[in-house]
């Protein structure tokens, strides 16, 4: 059974803080070079990204929109004239 501890991470864009529950042994595995998705596989993708880059999910989505959103049907309709 994992022994979870709370770690608090602050988003570098919006300054919101997020509490993430991690096993210190898994955190050490990641710090020693194991891929975060393997060492901390029980975290969500947004939690792992916050730990990796310092960006929360909302800020990441705002900074790096999905390519499909950039080329929506509305955009294509405007450029087909």
> Mean pLDDT for the chain?
88
Q: Classify 2 in phi/psi space as left (phi over 0), alpha (psi -120 to 50) or beta.
A: beta
Q: Give the per-residue pLDDT at 2.
A: 84
What single DSSP character describes residue 20? E
Q: Give the per-residue pLDDT at 70.
A: 64
Q: With 80 as the cut, is the pLDDT of residue 72 above it?
A: no
- Whole-model pTM? 0.78
Report the domain count for the chain: 1
- Domain of 30 in residue numbering reads as 5-79
**With bands split at pLDDT 50, 70 and 90, how would you rate the model's confidence at 55?**
very high
Q: Give the per-residue pLDDT at 12.
A: 97
pLDDT > 90: percent of the chain: 72
The token pair at 73 is: 């049907």
Q: Give the per-residue pLDDT at 37.
A: 97
Q: Please give the Cα distance from 35 to 40 (Å, whole number).
A: 8
């Amino acid at each position: 059974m994992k022994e979870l501890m709370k770690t608090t991470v602050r988003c570098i864009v919006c300054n919101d803080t997020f509490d993430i529950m991690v096993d210190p042994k898994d955190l050490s595995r990641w710090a020693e070079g194991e891929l975060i998705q393997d060492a901390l596989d029980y975290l969500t993708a947004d939690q792992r990204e916050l730990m990796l880059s310092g960006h929360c999910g909302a800020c990441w989505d705002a900074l790096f929109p999905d390519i499909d959103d950039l080329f929506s049907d509305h955009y294509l309709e405007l450029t087909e004239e």
